[in-house]
Amino acid sequence: MVVIVLFLGFRHVEASPNYNNIDTMIKNYMRDFNIPGIAVIVTKGDNVVYLKSFGIGHDNKSLGKDTKMYIGSLSKSFTALAIMQLEESGKIDIDKPVKTYLPYFKVNNNYSTENITVRHLLNQTSGMSEINNISKLKNTTSLREGVLDLKKARPVSKPGDEFHYFNPNYVILGAIVEEVTGEKYEKYMKENILGPLGMKNTVLDIKNGVTNLSNGFGAFAGFPVKRREEFIKSAISAGFIISTPEDISKYIIFQNKTNKTFRNVLSYRNIDEMHKPALRTKPYYGMGWFINEKYNNTKVVEHNGELKNFHADIVLLPELDYGISVMTNQNHVLYDIFVYPELRENLTKLVLGTSYKNSSTFTVVYLLLITVGIITIIVSIYIIIRTKKLFQKTIEKGLKRVYISIIIDVIMPIIFLVMFSYFFSKMVQTGFSFEMIWGLTHDLVIWFLVICILAFIRALYKILILHEAIKKGIIKL
């Protein structure tokens, strides 16, 4: 699949510093990949030089600059900002253990429980990993309950030694904000960050409903499917903030330190601290941000946000005073791997006035997957139809071969499930969760389930044929 995406049908596009070219590029992506809605923001200094929305948002109305969308893990930098505010005001010391502020904090390792610091959480170096720990919290639970849920979580390394992306690190940070301030996370964020930055349409609680919230979409065989995004209250500080393109433009300007009126939110020194990698090994991660060097060794501070039906990116080029964001209301694991990273890179190159390559072959890849899916289902059905004739020959070869044949039909789907789960976990860097796999790949899951059901039907059919053969004395036990 990767080879196909890389080598089929690229078209070279000559870039231009003219921002109108963004319109053409975005429309091409929407057409080629059937994306319902995309919003693009570009800032230069303290000016929004481009802010435009394409496609549909809330109830098939046009996506606008004030349409609300989930921003996923972009929420982490907001939480990191809150923590750094508290550090700056002397209310916390980020180098002290988490238990200093949350006495009830506990994981399944005494050393980690006592030695994970607030900084480790910010830098994703707590030693906890998504691969080993899957939360099953309900969407009504609080940040405190999210922390209590970690008592069985097992670390994979010592605190501070290695980078491991772990969403609950930022759940813990959200709980620290509440514990230290004595306020709800939502209230603190609104009064100390969102309000001062003028982000009046950003939402952190949906209990009273959310107006003008964009519909979310999955992708089934390359076509958008409208679905509801579940709001997980216990993970609000890690990935469930809802914002608008216009509000995100203000946040980008703040992070790039290009508007002096925002200096009261956090000092430039601590913004720089947030944009500084914690370890000398890749991936380079600061506090809610990945840090890289691209585009002729230019420093890039970036992060993406992934939910079942939404995707968002922010790219900061602080040395050039540029900020770029893309927000979409559709997601799928294959889009996350191939489409959105390319869109982000190409948009950045266009803004910098360099050429980019836009692949228009993703639909072909999807058609290929559909073809493979249909063929495998047809072949499975054909084998079931031919089972009686083929299995009679197996029966003639003895009972041992009969049992092996039936066991293979039962075992193969289980092996396939384990392999599928393993590769999915590697792709998205998280543990196995059927809910997550279903949310990001429901077309592939349906195909897989159909293949499994057909395999079990074939096994059952063979058992019935075997029973009939025993009954007739054709084969003896």
The domain ranges of the chain are 16-359, 363-471
Q: What are phi and psi of 395, to 5 degrees?
A: -60, -40
- Candidate from 23-27, 34-38, 206-210, 389-393 with smallest mean pLDDT: 389-393
Query: Which of 78, 56, 53, 77 is CA-nearest to residue 66?
Result: 53
pLDDT of residue 419: 75
How many Å separate Cα 73 from the centre of its chain?
7
pLDDT of residue 418: 75
Report d(CA 442, CA 450) in Å as an integer.
Answer: 12
Check whether the bond before 283 is cis (ω within 30° of 0). Answer: yes
pLDDT at 79 over 50: yes
Percent helix, percent strand, percent coil in the chain, to nearest 5: 50, 15, 35
pLDDT digits (tens, 9 = 90+) for 217-262: 999 888 899 999 999 999 999 999 999 999 999 999 999 998 888 9
Sole residue written with tokens 């893309």: 326
pLDDT digits (tens, 9 = 90+) for 179-207: 999 999 999 999 999 999 999 999 999 98
Q: Where are the alpha helices (DSSP H) in 232-298?
A: 236-239, 245-255, 268-274
Report d(CA 130, CA 135) in Å as an integer.
Answer: 9
For 313, the enclosing helix (H) or strand (E) is strand 311-317
pLDDT, mean of residues 162-166: 95
pLDDT, mean of residues 24-41: 94
Report d(CA 234, CA 145) in Å as an integer.
Answer: 7
pLDDT of residue 361: 63
pLDDT digits (tens, 9 = 90+) for 350-392: 999 888 877 656 767 778 888 988 999 999 999 899 888 888 7
Question: How does residue 13 score in pLDDT terms, banded at 50, 70 and 90?
Answer: very low
pLDDT, mean of residues 342-347: 94
pLDDT of residue 467: 80
Superfamily of domain 16-359: DD-peptidase/beta-lactamase superfamily (3.40.710.10)
202 close to 70: Cβ distance less than 8 angstroms: no
Check whether the bond before 224 is cis (ω within 30° of 0). Answer: no
pLDDT of residue 102: 98
pLDDT at 457 over 80: yes
pLDDT of residue 1: 38
pLDDT of residue 179: 98
pLDDT of residue 401: 82
